[in-house]
Amino acid sequence: MASDVLEQRAAVEAEVGGRTLCDVLAQTVASHGDLPAYSDRDGSQAWRTLTWGQFRGEVLGLAAALVRLGLRPGERVALMLPNRAEHVLADQAVVHAGGVPVTLYATLAPDQVRYIAADCDARVAVLDGPSELARWQAVLPDLPGVRAVVVRDSAACPAGEPFLTWAGLAAIGRDAAAGAEAAEVARRTAAITPDDPVTLLYTSGTTASPKGVVITHRSVLYECVTARMSGSAIMHVRWVSYLPLAHIAERMFTLYLAAFLAGHTYFCHNAATDLVQVIGEVKPTSFFGVPRVWEKIQAGLQALLAAERDEAKRAAVAAAMDVGRRYVESSQFGRVMPPGLEAEYARAEAGVLGPIKSLLGLGEARVVVSAAAPLPPDVSAFFAGLGMRILDVYGMTETTGAFTMNTPGAFKLGTVGRPVPGTEVRVADDGEILTRGPLNTPGYLNLSGQTAELLDSDGWLHTGDIGSVDADGFVSVVDRKKELIITSGGENISPAAIENLLVAHPLIGQALAYGDRRKYVVALLTLDGEVAPAWARARGVEASSLAELAGTPLVLDAVGEAVAAANQRLARVQQVKRWRLLPVEWTAESEELTPTLKLKRRVIHSKYADVIDQLYAEPADHG
């Protein structure tokens, strides 16, 4: 290991010290207790805000209630709620009671709930309302270890044991706060060590049973310190929380960095319907989006720009975006800013680009980040045109989130940045990205064999991703190792590289490239449910549904042109020979996407096996 990596690691670990997240929260309250911590609302109601002092007070009361309910140190509590105040209160109450919170995706089927709850031996479940309750009631008879089920929505809570309303839990907490349970909470909190679990997160389980990843206080705080050192983490950040808290990235931002930075987080309960409105209201100073979210924002803005009928205005926007793109590209690591470009950009920002970003609600965002999958180059270039440096970072649940990151001071478009301080990254002989350092999980719960496959004897974590590292240390990710297409001719192809070019067209919502052990590549495509109807109306096409629109000749011709344009940018072996435009939009609810909007390839392969077979049987080169 290089001495500079050791020095960096020692510096970060010295700042982390022997602290836990409980210590960080107490320190934040001591310094910033009167500042806003979390704001929430239901429907059209006004925002309700908890200060950091109020938040910790409620956490300690709920922790005392959990102690009274019989929760013991080290036991797990399952959480299934949307992004809202009760979720983060419950999570931190479990931690302060010495337990381990386990957030489950709300889209899980009852069988998956049963598996995870049994695997982690959950003793308490905290649920939101009827939908979540239905998933659990079906399997509770198979989970005798669950002693209590807390339901936030009082109207949905069944009578009798083991059920308890959130209001009832809070009432127990107020009573217990004056008793022996409060002293027990203080004792348990003091006994937590940096190497104890701060949470247990389960992988999506799309190819096998879900695996429980242990995340420690130490690794979480190491990530927080390195994020602040890089300039990516802003003190008193204003944040919108909308991605599932079962995902490590959202947990880092909403729970851990929030306390570390004394930030102010606003909750968006339903990202599909409310995200744009909430961003516009909150005007976050930092924003995180998975690639699909950035694609949706881009498509919506492109539709607005295309609807502008004033030629002069369209030309002014195009000219300003050209300046923005050149400015961001020349700001990359190792580049030199041409003379006069900074002043030219300042004029474009003041006159055109700034108002557009304000329209999106991102005018005050100093740091914007993407992760979960490589950001398509066309998306990155589009936002660069607005003067926005979308900082692509790379990590996984098993690495406590990002272990490489582009930073405001050192970024390269098309890469996922350099290793965070004190972390090693190398590429194995077969192209797999490996990492070693304090961010790595100690392992999977109850799975010693799979832990040994993940972490080798030298401490290197095998990511399962194929990539490269350039001369400046910037990492690029090609695709998942197991998802590479190997054609019948033996060619290795990245499906993501093809799909990113296909979804660059605003009409195309999602794309899946297929061709494993086949002579050529085919693609399944879906329309963008928001952009496609507006695109069609602007061209005089009215349709009552997305399915009807998908069969319209004008739409099929436009999609065919998009495929042809993508093929022009691909090597011959990568080109899409045949495609089908499906009459549906893929969603997490219909199970083709993960909750963070990544493709579930094996689900799609199985669900559309007959369509794929037809594509290989058809003579025509279109849908």
Is 402 in the same domain as 529? no
Do 261 and 233 contact (CB within 8 A), yes or no? Answer: yes
Number of domains the chain contains: 3
Select from 481, 514, 540 the last residue of a domain: 481
Average pLDDT of span 264-286 = 93
Residue corresponding to tokens 């049973």: 209
Measured between alpha carbons, how far is residue 283 from residues 275, 277, 317, 379, 544 in Å? 12, 10, 22, 21, 35
pLDDT (tens digit per residue) in 490-508: 677 888 889 989 998 889 9
Is 336 in the same domain as 470? yes
pLDDT at 364 exceeding the cut of 70: yes
Specify the pLDDT at position 206.
52
pLDDT at 485 exceeding the cut of 90: no
Between 537 and 143, the higher pLDDT residue: 143
Is 188 in the same domain as 293? no
Is 509 in the same domain as 460? no
Is 547 in the same domain as 425? no
Nearby residues of 249 by Cβ (< 8 Å), 6 or more positions away: 243, 288, 371, 372, 395, 401, 402, 596
Specify the pLDDT at position 475.
96
Nearby residues of 385 by Cβ (< 8 Å), 6 or more positions away: 321, 322, 324, 325
pLDDT (tens digit per residue) in 365-410: 999 999 877 788 889 999 999 999 999 999 999 999 999 999 999 9
198 located within any domain: no
Specify the pLDDT at position 402.
95
CATH code: domain of residue 590: 3.30.300.30
Is 463 in the same domain as 541? no
Is 355 in the same domain as 467? yes
The H or E element that residue 576 is part of is strand 576-581
pLDDT (tens digit per residue) in 554-593: 999 999 999 999 999 888 888 999 999 999 999 888 889 8
Specify the pLDDT at position 1.
56
Average pLDDT of span 434-448 = 97
Is 294 in the same domain as 432? yes
Is 450 in the same domain as 525? no
Is 426 in the same domain as 325? yes
Select from 438, 454, 481 the last residue of a domain: 481
Percent of the chain with pLDDT over 70: 98
The angle, 0 to 180 degrees and rounded to 10, between the axes of the packed helices 85-96 and 52-68 is: 60
Structural domain of residue 439, as residue ranges?
A: 288-481
pLDDT at 621 exceeding the cut of 60: no
Q: What does residue 508 show for φ and ψ, rounded to 5 degrees?
A: -85, 120
Is 489 in the same domain as 582? yes
DSSP single-letter state for residue 177: T
Percent of the chain with pLDDT over 90: 74
